[in-house]
Structure 1
Amino acid sequence: MIQPDSNYLPTATIETLQQRSQLLRAIRTFFESRGYWEVETPILSRDTVVDAYIDPFVTTWCATEGTAAEGELRYLQTSPEFAMKRLLTAGADQIYQITHAFRQAERGAMHNPEFAMLEWYRLGETHHDQMTFVEALVRQIYERATALCDTSTRLALPETPFERFSYEAAFLQFAGLSALHSTAEQFEQVARDRQISVPSEFDINDCQAWQNLLLVELIEPALREKRAVFIYDYPARQAALARIRQGKDLGPEGVAERFELYLHGVEICNGYHELTDADELRIRIRQQSAIRKQEHRPVLPAESYLLQAMEAGLPACAGTALGLDRLIMLALGKQTLQQVIAFPLERA
């Protein structure tokens, strides 16, 4: 007799996996109907996204048998970003991809080290255009999920357009201080007033550390009550590969033209008005590498095919990376990723 907790069985039911298949089909239909075309890029590559706090899986490629010690380093991709932007440089206009991405130290109800990612890019758009597109996609997937299963207990989307808060506006409303103009002492005072526990190794003089802490402790809990909300224009030091916009009201460093969508407090996607300047990308890679060295993390490549593509001329564009497992989980009214994945890490 088959035991229901046997490790060879999927953690998601067959019915749920069939519903997932239908949602994937709906996603492809959504993109194709809007002129996007599907692409495939390598999962194993010599390039990898350089991020101070994202660790890729690393392996070696051997040209001949028995030469493992002499193999070349290769990375399982944490995102298809680099390769997809190379396609834009080669002449692609609006592309999307459904793929698997891999990240170390990802585990829990909302994480798995191997996860499904939906990523897309379009020439000539901004992050504000992408927010409008994301909302239409999410509503379409929720509508399709409603036709597939009983969603009476699912947390609903708002009937009105998704709210949009700049990072600064969110801090002013939910934390009571400016994210872009406050001093470390002012951040610390808010933490003290709100009785927020500060980690023992915390650098109380680091404004970015305070921003991150207050985001988790004050802003994100408030967003759970909003059902669906975009946060955009992040501090410049959190730019990743987004453009920086300067302005007298935007703090001394400006803001990064990127956004995130939260559904019932769950982060769903990350979108950028994309950086196209190769020189600036080199600077950011050096900055991220310096942080990695300081924190004793493995150094990642300083050169990449993306740098070559940017030097050749990456067109102005915007793009979004969306956690597909999370969106499917919420659309089907589930509580954990394991309920929508066949074989998570523990059973892979």
Structure 2
Amino acid sequence: MTTSVRDEARRLYGTFLKENPRERDLVLFKADLLRAVRGWLHTTGYTEVATPVLCQDRESAPIPQFATRHPLTGQGFHLKHSAEEHLRRLIISIDRVFDLGPAIRAEHEDAEHAIEFTMLQTAARDVTLADGMAMVANLVQSCVQTVFANLANPGADFTTIYEMPVDDAIAQALGTATAPEGANLVAAARDWLAARGMACDGGDWEVMEAFVKHGVEAAVTAPTLLHSFPYELRHNSRIDEKTGRAQRFSLIVGGVEICDGGVKLRTAADYRPMVDANIALREELHGVPADEGPLDFYADVDRDPADVFTFGLGLERLLAAVTGRSVADVLSFPFH
């Protein structure tokens, strides 16, 4: 049974599960998946840390965040979009950390996007991109095997998780022998979107994000780790001096990103230009007033700079991929 994003039968969620045993099984699968993920991380030397949901600083991505105020003091907070920056700060003292809990995002809800969902976020010191991707593949395969007793399931076959440089996927999407670079890549992405009647008049960041989602990721069906991104898609990942490519990866399954990460920038001086650009972009796109950036984050990462590999994995997206359902189908209490 597949439900719609706003299936009124799911408003009375307990009754819905009582009357639909197969839907109840999804709740149990999610619980088993959470246990399996935690077990794998503990075995691999990660320490669980609960990061705050109420955050004093905005996160550095160019996105709007939900905000609220303390009903007694009036102090303002931003609701957690990702735990990465809090975990990144802990790495100066603890070598491997993770948070497994709610993420709250200002999304337009649909079959694959939710306002509130379960996110695994990790950070590990002195892990290369290649070793980090191998860890992610091992985590996913181990947990799917543990919960479902089979890597080949109705939604996806995780027996093999492939690897592909993102340049190859970009070239395939554009129908070219090689991927364009720099301004030529952005121009080609605009043309690709325009040819398909999609919005293409935004800034470079908007255009590249839309092109990757609709042109690159949508064409990837088998579980695949896309890696080594061009500079225009670096986000907050370090550039490999030998290749000129960002040490970033995304795990795509059935055309949907379920995990993203990479080797991150080292120091506040590395982060500030990116964050300042994102603050300006956030103001331009969403009308969010400019601020000073995450000053406590800057101070902590400068205390002991290191190569840090992080990744975020959406638990509902993984469960949806395995079972052949939508994210909307596997949310608990979809009407909150």
Q: TM-score, normalised by structure 2?
A: 0.85
Give yes or no for the alignment of 1:8 onto 2:12: yes
Q: CA RMSD in A?
A: 2.8
* Change in CA separation of 1:152 and 1:269 when aligned onto 2, cut-off 3 Å: closer
Deviation at 1:293, TM superposition (A): 2.2
* Change in CA separation of 1:246 and 1:325 when aligned onto 2, cut-off 3 Å: same
Q: Which moved more, 1:4-13 or 1:310-319?
A: 4-13
Deviation at 1:207, TM superposition (A): 5.8
1:26 to 25, 28, 36: 36
Alignment partner, residue 179 of structure 2? 178
1:244 to 234, 239, 259: 239
Contact 1:167/1:179 (<8 A) preserved: no
Alignment partner, residue 326 of structure 2? 336
Deviation at 1:167, TM superposition (A): 2.0
2:59 to 39, 49, 61: 49
1:121 to 123, 132, 155: 123
Q: TM-score, normalised by structure 1?
A: 0.82
* Change in CA separation of 1:223 and 1:188 when aligned onto 2, cut-off 3 Å: closer
Aligned length: 320
Q: Over residues 41-72 of structure 1, what are the superposed CA-to-partner deviations in whole Å (9 max), with x where a residue is unaligned?
A: 111110231222x221101235xx3x5xxx22
Give yes or no for the alignment of 1:315 onto 2:312: no
Contact 2:156/2:324 (<8 A) preserved: no
Contact 1:48/1:78 (<8 A) preserved: no
* Change in CA separation of 1:186 and 1:337 when aligned onto 2, cut-off 3 Å: closer
Which residue type is aligned with residue 84 of structure 1? L
In the alignment, the residues of structure 1 paired with residue 297 and residue 263 of structure 2 have an alpha-carbon distance, to the nearest angstrom, of: 16
* Change in CA separation of 1:121 and 1:152 when aligned onto 2, cut-off 3 Å: closer
Deviation at 1:262, TM superposition (A): 0.2
Q: Write out aligned runs for 1:1-348 (5 A).
A: 5=9, 7-10=11-14, 13-52=23-62, 54-61=63-70, 65=72, 67=73, 71-89=74-92, 91-147=93-149, 153-157=154-158, 159-160=159-160, 162-175=161-174, 176=176, 177-181=178-182, 183=184, 187=188, 191=192, 195-199=195-199, 202=201, 211-224=208-221, 227-247=222-242, 254-299=244-289, 301-304=291-294, 305-331=296-322, 333-344=323-334, 347-348=335-336
In the alignment, the residues of structure 2 paired with residue 101 and residue 33 of structure 1 have an alpha-carbon distance, to the nearest angstrom, of: 24
Deviation at 1:74, TM superposition (A): 0.8
Q: Which runs of 5+ in 1 are unaligned?
A: none
Contact 2:155/2:320 (<8 A) preserved: no
SS at match of 2:169: helix
Contact 2:282/2:288 (<8 A) preserved: yes
Which residue type is aligned with residue 222 of structure 1? A
Percent identity reads: 22
Deviation at 1:184, TM superposition (A): 6.4
Contact 2:189/2:208 (<8 A) preserved: no
SS at match of 1:153: coil
Which residue type is aligned with residue 56 of structure 1? Q
Deviation at 1:196, TM superposition (A): 2.5
SS at match of 2:127: coil
Contact 1:109/1:336 (<8 A) preserved: yes
In the alignment, the residues of structure 2 paired with residue 74 and residue 182 of structure 1 have an alpha-carbon distance, to the nearest angstrom, of: 38
Which residue type is aligned with residue 13 of structure 2? L
Q: Over residues 124-165 of structure 1, what are the superposed CA-to-partner deviations in whole Å (9 max), with x where a residue is unaligned?
A: 1122211101111111122123239x97633322x44x2222
* Change in CA separation of 1:188 and 1:239 when aligned onto 2, cut-off 3 Å: closer
SS at match of 2:9: coil
Deviation at 1:300, TM superposition (A): 5.5
Contact 1:242/1:273 (<8 A) preserved: yes
Which residue type is aligned with residue 231 of structure 2? A
Deviation at 1:302, TM superposition (A): 2.2
Structure having the higher Rg: 1
